[in-house]
Structure formats: C-alpha cells, structure tokens
Structure 1
Amino acid sequence: MPRLAAGKQRKSAKILFICVGLLGAALIADLLWASSTSSSARSFTYKPAFDWPPPKTSSDSFPLPVSSNHSAKVVADKDKKDEFHGRILSKTFADLPGPELKWEKMSEAPVPRLDGAAIQINDELFVFAGYGTIDLVHSHVDIYNFTSNRWGGRFDMPKEMAHSHLGMVTDGRYIYIVTGQYGPQCRGPTAHTFVLDTKTKKWEDMPPLPVPRYAPATQLWRGRLHVMGGSKEDRYTPGVDHWSIAVKDGKVLEKEWRIEMPIPRGGPHRACIVVDDRLYTIGGQEGDFMAKPNSPIFKCSRRNEVVYSDVYMLDDEMKWKVLPPMPKPDSHIEFAWAVVNNSIVIAGGTTDKHPVTKKMILNNEIFQFQLDTLKWSVVGKLPFRVKTTLVGFWDGWLYFTSGQRDRGVDDPTPKKVIGEMWRTKLRLL
C-alpha cells in the first residue's frame, strides 16, 4: 500500500509537470507570434517609390487656383486604410512633387479622343482618330492652329486605316502612318500603312508592315522609317521586332521592310523621338487589355500590365544603349512629348497600378529629360492627371489636348474621355 500511494504521487507530479511545460510553451509561442505579426505589419508599410525632397519655389511658376490644385498631398484625414494588411495608402498614390504651373483653357476639340494620335507641323497640330467611347471610334483628322488658337480643317481618313494605337511620324510635310487597331473595343490590328501629304490632304498607300502591331514606336531616322516594339496580334504579348524602310518626300524607295536590331524590351505606348541624329525610346508597358474570349463585339477584358521607366538610345553602330530611367514608370505617352531647349518634355501618362486595388493610376507630372546631361526632373504639373495626351509646343507655350482624365484630386483612376485643350507658358533652364 505505501508503494502504491507513492506511485500515485509520482504520477500526479509527472502530469502536473507536463501541464506546466505545455502552458509555458504556449506562452512562448504566443509571444513569438505577436512579435512576428508586428514585424510583418511593419514590412507592409507602403512608401512611395521615390522619396524626393520638397520642390523649390520657382519665380517662373504660377500656382493654379486652390480648387484646381492637383499636386501630391499626403493628408492624414484623407488617407485610406488597408485593413487587410494594416498599412496606410495615400489616395494620390505615386504623385511626385513638382512646381505648379498656370494653365489656360483653350478652345475644346470638336470630339473627345482616347488613344488618338497627333503630329505637329509648324504652328498646326494634326489630331487623328481615337476612341470617342469604348464603342465608338473616330475616322477623321482635326487641325488646331497655334497662331489663331482655333480648330478647323477637318478631313476624313482612308476607310482601311486604323482607328487607334497608331504608329506615326512626320518629315515636316508628309505624315507616315503605320499599323494600329481597327475598330472599337479590343478588335484586331491592321498591317496597313499610309502617307499623308499635309499640303494637298491626299493619301497614298505604302507597303504593309510584315505583321500588324498595336502602338509601335515609330520614327524617321537617317532616311528610313523605323517601326519597333508594340503589342502582337493578340493585343497583349509584347513584340520586340524592329523593321525599317527607306522613304523620301512621301515616297517609299524600297519594296520590302528590312529587319533591324530588335528593341531590348517590347511593348506598346512608349515615346519615340529623334533629336540631333539620335533615336530614343522612353517608357511604355508590357501587356494590355485583350478581347474577351468568344465575345462577338471583342469586348475588352483587363489583363496584367507592367509599366516601366526604361530609356534606350540607338547608336551609330545600330546597337541599343541603356540610358538613365524616368523618375517613375510611365506609359501611354506615344504622342505626349515635345522637344524644348535641347530637352524632351513628356506630359502625363500612366504608372504602376495601385498595390492594393490593382486599378490603373494616371500621372500628372511634366517630365524633362536634358539631353546634354541625361538627367530627369519634374518641371511642372498638369491641371489634372491624364493619359494619352496629345502634345504640341509653339512660341514658348506647351499645349495638350484629349486623353482620359482622373476622377478627381483624391482619385487617380481613369474616368472621362476629354477633348479639352490647355496651355501653359513653359520656361526651362
């Protein structure tokens, strides 16, 4: 009996020891979990991609009225809390600081345009095609005269010509038009190419591109029409192909397109500029909306897109050289640029999608790329965020028209397609 009692006591002590051990282990695990949760929450805290210092006040900058001020502001009571990740996100996601400019609203375009095209020749801006709505595309040209500040001179495009996502460039009289999307929604591309004589308003056919493309980078360089990148026939897959063909005074001098050095990174909606015998491509994206499978109207369906800030230059040996990237990723800028005082100026566009909502984010910055120093800066802000702007520069004034603007100061996602024309006096150092 004494041995039995002693055995029961040892058994009870053993059970008590095990319970205490389990309780201690649970307490330690709880402390470790709390520590890791805190650390995880900190790791998800959002910070802007670029932490730039506040801009200096410029004597050449004129502030907009308070009601129109769309500069980036991080205001605590307007910030939106992402409850799932426990982080704070500004509604004005990714805006960069820059001087405010005084904008003047000019005569509105005859029609609103999205994904249209524009070419400036002297004091005239030729504005082509584009969406009016997702179900309506334009098939004509409007002309804005910077001297009279009026619209006029409308004329029709060829019936076979693309309505959006065009490649386009001029030699000062003739405008060369290459490929693009034919029709509304997310319809297929066409390989048709044309040349327009801006003096006679007559169109001529050119040899079709080897395969159709959406929004390829297009420029005239050393007597040849160059067409690069864009999206392939499915509207989504980036193309890296690069073709050229010899042209002069609106005439094509060869029967076939020549294969050139592929562009390092494919995709549509980038700027392509020739300055001082150097060819530059700037920004752009990989991926785009696609037609919904089996949709009889080719209804657009969103797909993942990657917006980038890459800058490339084609050198004398026909090799691509990597240059300093843009201050932030920027796309939908193929006709949003002008050359001013040995600089490339780019207005608006789209940047990386919102990290939580995954919605498209529009830009309102005016970027300057100084060609002598290869440095980027923000030299101003647009009156609102907008993509696919059509830009011109005349007599010291920077103009832009058309595109798709934001939903308001605190919502940088796209909403209304516009035909507004704005201008500001641009003073660059």
Structure 2
Amino acid sequence: MAYKWETLKAMPSKRVFASSLVHEENLYIIGGCNERGIPLDCFEMFNTRQKKWHRLQNLPTKRAAPAVVASGTKIVAVGGVSESQHPLSAIEIYDIADKKWTVVDPLGDKLLGISCVLRGNKAYFMGGMAADTSPFDKFVELDMETFAWRIMPPMPTARYATFAFLIDDKIYVIGGRQGKIPSVALEVFDLSTGQWTRLPDVPSPRVFAMYATDGKHIFSVGGLLQPASQGFSDTCEAFSIDKGEWKACRSMPTKRGDFAVAIVAGKLVCAGGLGNDGKPLSVTEVYDVESNSWSAVGEMPSTHCSCSYVLHQDQLFVCGGLSCRGPSNAMEVLRFQ
C-alpha cells in the first residue's frame, strides 16, 4: 500500500490563483490569473468519474482567488482580486441546473482574501482585506436557499487570507495576515452559543504558512519566515483540539511555502510549493502524527505552486498554478492504494 500520483487530462485554461470546490462528482475551477497576472473569467468543470473537462459559461466578472462555496444547485463566488488588482465587492451565483450565472447585490465592502465554510445550507464568510490593505473582522452568514445575509459577531482579530475549518459545531479560523504582518491568531466560533473564543496563538509567525485538519488536530506547516530574508520554513506544529494546546512536531524535510496540503488516508500530505531557490517544487512529503515522522512519497508529475487543490473522496486533486515554465494547466491526483 502506498501513495501514488496519477496524471489526469489537463485543464483547458492555464492559470494561477484559481479557486476550486467539489460538488457531488464534479470539480469546479473558478477564475484565476494568466501569465501577466491579469484576472480571468474562466469557469471549467472536471467530472471525476468520466475524467473529462467541460467549459462552462464564463464568470460575469473577471477575478482571481474569490471565496467560493456550493450547496444544492448553486455555486456562489464572493470578492477576490479585480482586473485593476484591487479587491472586489461583486457576488455572483451560478445555477448548476440552468448553467447560467446571475449577478446579485454586491458586498458592502470590496474585499479579497475572504475565507468561507459550509454547514448544511448556510455558508459563513470571514475576514478580508480592503483596497488600503486594512484587514477586516467581518463575519457573515449566507442562507444558500434564500440568499439572505445575516451579520454575525465579528472575529476577535481582523485579518485576511485565513484558513477556516468546520469541526463538529464550531468554526476554527487560523493564521492570515494584517497588511504584510502574519497573524498567529487561532479563534473558534461556537455555532450553538454564537460566541467567539480565543485559543492559544500559533507558536511560530510565518507568512504563507499552510494549514490542514484531521478533525483532532490543526496543523501549521511551512511558510515564509520573518524577516523574509530568512527564507522559507520547515516548521510543523500541531494544535490538539481536545487538549487545547500546541506542540512542536518533527520538521518537514523540505523548506517551502504556498503548497498543496490535505489529510489523505489519515496523514498530512504536503505537495509542491515554492522552495528557497525560488522555483516551484514537485516534492511530496507525508507526516504521521502518531509516530511524529515524515516520509517522502513519489514526486508530483509536474511542479506546482500557487495552485488550486481540493480533497475529494480521500484523494488530493492539484490543478494549475505556477510551474517552472510559467502558468500551468496540469492536473494530478494523489491516492493511497
């Protein structure tokens, strides 16, 4: 039994900083940037059973890195980076059955770096950065059936580009940035009580650190050290949800940031990213929390950083991003066999 990469049919459009999600058996890739850093309106779907790509109706608004979520027959894209390289307020809804986009009332604020989670038919959006780089503490709920918004209690720490995880009835929000300063805040919102709680900070401040959860731990891995002249980090830290405390783990073998990260077959997988030589990577390493050990597995068929990645049926799909040759349309999947 081992982890194994498989090369899938390439995405129709080469792009970086696209957003992705899985709904039923389909993987959707939304927006992104081209080789000149200009946001795109590309919208494509990969059927994971047929292993085929389909071009769908383009986004009404060109954008990179929007917050995206799907429920029922609807996909929602919120905020992101505009053609002018400024934050967006545009909200658009795609009807999967009708295969059409609809533009709805925009956000009250133009924001990028918004995080989101889905619980039932309710989507929760948090944080964001304004045009003047000010971080937001905004926290809102969207009913995916009526598309009515509800203002929620603001996050204790204003920030953007966080990672957010739904674990049981709680939303954990971790990391992110405040301008160019990395945030080490870890906060949890209890949906049953409607209250935020501050948890112990991430021990090591890093920009572009990556986060994943197995439901028992939240892992903080890699990223850019501060000051940035120190390069990328091999740090691996784990927060125990039961104990409410952080512990230092064995260092990741490869120092890097901006990589694909997920829990596959119960273990933390770190794939690709950007190394200290300034080049995208293909190296894949797996961490076992029980033995506190790392192991190298087969390298990705292509180099990837700033890629789109998503977990589906215990498989890690990695798509596009920046390769050693520029923006990529390569797509690969990692399975445990």
Q: What's the TM-score, normalizing by structure 1?
A: 0.54
Match of 2:33 in 1: none
* Aligned partner letter, 1:159: L
What's 2:235 paired with?
310
* 1:386 maps onto 2:305 in alignment: yes
Matched, 1:238 2:182: yes
Q: Would the alpha carbon gap of residues 270 and 152 (structure 1) be closer, same or farther in structure 2, given more than 3 Å must change?
A: farther
Q: Which of 192, 200, 206 pairs up with 1:261?
A: 200
Q: Residue 275 of structure 1 is aligned with which of 210, 214, 226?
A: 214
* Alignment counterpart, residue 131 of structure 1, candidates 66, 81, 91: 81
Distance of 2:205 and 2:83 partners within structure 1:
27
Quote the residue 1:224 is aligned against. 170
Aligned length in residues: 291
Q: Is this contact kept in 2: 1:366–1:382, CA < 8 A?
A: no
- Out of 306, 316, 322, the position equivalent to 1:405 is 322
Secondary structure in 2 aligned to 1:350? coil
Contact 2:167 2:215 in 1 (8 A): no
Tell me: CA distance 1:170–1:181, structure 2 relative to 1, closer, same or farther (3 Å). Answer: same
Cα-to-partner distance string for 1:17-72 (whole Å, 9 max, x where unaligned): xxxxxxxxxxxxxxxxxxxxxxxxxxxxxxxxxxxxxxxx999756999xxxxxxx
Bigger CA radius of gyration: 1
Residue 141 to residue 341, structure 1, CA distance change in 2 (3 Å): farther
1:340/1:177 Cα in 2 relative to 1: closer, same or farther (>3 Å)? Answer: same
After superposition, the Cα gap between the structure-2 partners of 1:140 and 1:59, relative to the gap in structure 1 and judged at 3 Å, is: closer
| Unmatched 5+ stretches in structure 1 | 1-56, 66-102, 289-302, 355-359, 409-414
C-alpha change, 1:202 and 1:318, in structure 2 (3 Å) is: same
Deviation at 1:260, TM superposition (A): 2.0
Match of 2:45 in 1: none
Deviations 1:115-167 (A, max 9, x none): 4445577999765533254625443356697xx9x976565575235632233
TM-score where L is the length of structure 2: 0.66
Q: Secondary structure of 1:351's match? A: coil
Superposed CA offset, 1:282-315 (max 9, x none) = 2233469xxxxxxxxxxxxxx7574323222222
Between the aligned partners of 1:240 and 1:384, the Cα distance in structure 2 is 29
Q: Check 1:63–1:253 CA distance in 2 against 1; reply closer, same or farther (3 A cut).
A: closer
Among all aligned residue pairs of Structure 1 and Structure 2, give the percentage whose two residues are the same amino acid: 16
Aligned-partner SS, 2:201: coil
Q: Which structure carries more helix by proportion?
A: 1
- 8 Å Cα contact 2:4-2:298 kept in structure 1: no
Shift of 1:368: 4.0
1:178 and 2:102 correspond: no
Q: Distance in 2 between matches of 1:209 and 1:330?
A: 29
Whether 1:204 aligns to 2:150 is yes
Gaps of 5+ in 2: 11-50
The correspondence for 2:223, drawn from 284, 299, 322, is 284
Q: Distance in 2 between matches of 1:124 and 1:380?
A: 36
Cα distance change on mapping 1:133 and 1:245 into 2, 3 Å: same
- Quick one: distance in 2 between partners of 1:305 and 1:198? 44
CA separation of 1:311/1:166 partners in 2, compared to 1, >3 Å: closer, same or farther? farther
Relative to 1, partners in 2 of residues 1:309 and 1:214: Cα closer, same or farther, differing over 3 Å? farther
Counterpart in 2 of 1:160? 108
Instruction: Give the direction of change, closer, same or farther, for the CA distance of 1:222–1:59 in structure 2 (3 Å limit).
Output: closer
SS, match of residue 375 in structure 1? strand
Aligned residues of 1:125 and 1:392 also touching (Cα < 8 A): no
Q: Of residues 143, 150, 159 in structure 2, which corresponds to 1:213?
A: 159
CA displacement at 1:318 relative to structure 2: 1.0
Alignment of 1:333-344 (within 5 A): 333=259, 336-344=260-268
> Structure 1 residues 122 and 427, CA, compared in 2 at 3 Å: closer, same or farther?
farther
1:322 paired residue number: 248
Q: Match for residue 9 of structure 1?
A: none
Counterpart of 1:390, as a letter, is: S
Q: Does 1:193 align with 2:139?
A: yes
Q: How does 1:353-372 map to 2 (within 5 A)?
A: 354=277, 360-370=278-288
Contact 2:79 2:87 survives alignment (8 Å): yes
